[in-house]
Amino acid sequence: MVIRETLAKKVAWISVISNIVLTLGKIIIGLYGNSDAVFADGIHSAADVFASIIVLLVIKIANKPADKEHPYGHGKAEVIVSGIVGILLFLVSIYVVYEGISGFFHKVESPSLLAMWVALFSYIMKIILYRSSLKAAKQHNSKAIEAIAFDHKADIVASIAAAIGVLISILGERFDLHLLLYGDKAASIFVAYLIFKISKEMLTEAFDILLERNISTETIQEYTKIINDFPDVRRIDRIRAREHGHYILVDLRISIDYYKTIKEGHDLAKSIKQKLMKSYDNIDEVLIHLNPYFPEDN
């Protein structure tokens, strides 16, 4: 837990510092260089700064062990963070698309070439940050770090889209093609769409976990196969599992021969639990209920 918390803080701090630099650069150059797309990308980076700060504040809570008031642990704190980030990105997308559309009804001017170089620099930086954050999120199964990675992912395409939009506008001015001057405005709307898409993915996953939606059918089938490998398990009456932030809780009902002793049933349940947790390091608890099995049940 300590290593996981330390890594999450490190990723969040790297994200905060890099996004502050990118935010200032893109907003200032976006305004100075007359680029709505780069400015919109800068607003998105500002949202990333806020998201990373939230992660830093909540990551310690999410890694606290279970206690009397929270017997299933505090893992959902990370999910709540992910949901907050998703809502934030949704609001940003609405703002950016509004600014982009309104730009079509005003006199348009070509952005500066500097705006394009800033967007390209952001693109390269975001690729590096996304890959490193996603790797850390998978290694430690952290929803909080994953939320940061998704923010970087949105910026990757957003930054290259902004760069292309600026370039199209510059070419429109150079070759006197008035329609191309709106390339920057169109790019800002595309950036808004990308931000909205990421926010939708994050909100959907957060709500699924908070509403305790069952995990994927494929994963349940993998659990089932492991359980059925125990010859004393005569039947699986019910199996379900739910994500609780960065870990999974499994509920299981199985039938064993009615004449088995309590100790035999206990030992079997313990073996099943150990096998599942050994096979999947993200399983934190396996609750097993035993039912008596009678031959005539068939």
Q: Which CATH class is domain 217-297?
A: alpha beta
Distance CA 151, CA 90 (A): 12
Provide the pLDDT confidence category of residue 97 given band limits of 50, 70 and 90: confident
Please give the structure tokens belonging to residue 57: 């504040």
- pLDDT at position 59, please? 63
Going from N- to C-terminal start, the domains of the chain cover 2-210, 217-297
Name the CATH topology of 2-210: Alpha-lytic protease prodomain-like (1.20.1510)
Please give the structure tokens belonging to residue 92: 């940003």
**172, 110 contact by CB (below 8 A):** yes
Instruction: Give, in order, the Cα–Cα distances in Å from 213 to each of 115, 208, 209, 282.
Output: 44, 5, 6, 17
Over the stretch 39-53, which tens digit does the pLDDT of each residue have?
A: 888 887 877 777 667
Of residues 32, 49, 30, the one with CA closest to residue 40: 30
Over the stretch 253-277, which tens digit does the pLDDT of each residue have?
A: 999 999 999 999 999 999 999 999 9
Over the stretch 120-178, which tens digit does the pLDDT of each residue have?
A: 999 999 899 889 888 888 877 776 677 778 778 877 888 888 899 999 999 998 888 88
Q: What residue type is 57 in one-letter code?
A: L
Provide the pLDDT confidence category of residue 223 given band limits of 50, 70 and 90: very high
Distance CA 17, CA 52 (A): 10
Distance CA 211, CA 243 (A): 10
Which residues lie below 8 Å from residue 221, measured CB to CB, with a gap of 6+? none
Of residues 12, 10, 15, the one with CA closest to residue 126: 15
DSSP labels, 131-176? HHHHHHHHHHT-HHHHHHHHHHHHHHHHHHHHHHHHHHHHHHHHTT
**Helices (H), ranges, the chain:** 2-32, 36-62, 76-102, 113-140, 143-174, 183-210, 217-228, 262-279
- pLDDT at position 211, please? 64
More confident residue, 9 or 257: 257
